[in-house]
Amino acid sequence: MISNTIKERLTKNRAMTSITLRIPVDVVESMKTIAPRKGLSGYQALLKAYVSEGLRHDEAQFLFSKEAKLIEALKRRGVSEQIIEEAVCEVA
């Protein structure tokens, strides 16, 4: 079963926003060198790919883990956010 988050990510006309990042010049130059070697149009596409990869990794770890599924199941059964948060801190 595909999660709603993933379904939304597959939508082509998602809302976009512009952001500004301060990145060292040498890092940008390295990305400009690497991007075409990875078949990407430029360093911005490479940067987006890096962000997406890191985000997918963290989502898998924090949002789609067994722990996250257990927390959601407890919430559906009426266990309070406070009790869940205390329990998570206790086992961390």
Does 6 have pLDDT greater than 90?
Answer: no
**For the chain, what are the domain ranges?**
21-91
Segment (H or E) for 85: helix 81-91
Confidence of residue 2 (pLDDT cuts 50, 70, 90): low
Q: Which long-range contacts (CB under 8 A, 24 or more apart) does 44-51 make?
A: 47/21
- pLDDT (tens digit per residue) in 35-85: 999 999 999 999 999 999 999 888 888 777 888 889 989 999 999 999 999
Predicted TM-score (pTM) of this structure: 0.64
pLDDT at 60: 82
Cβ atoms of 84 and 75 closer than 8 Å: yes
What confidence tier does 14 reach under pLDDT thresholds 50, 70, 90?
Answer: confident
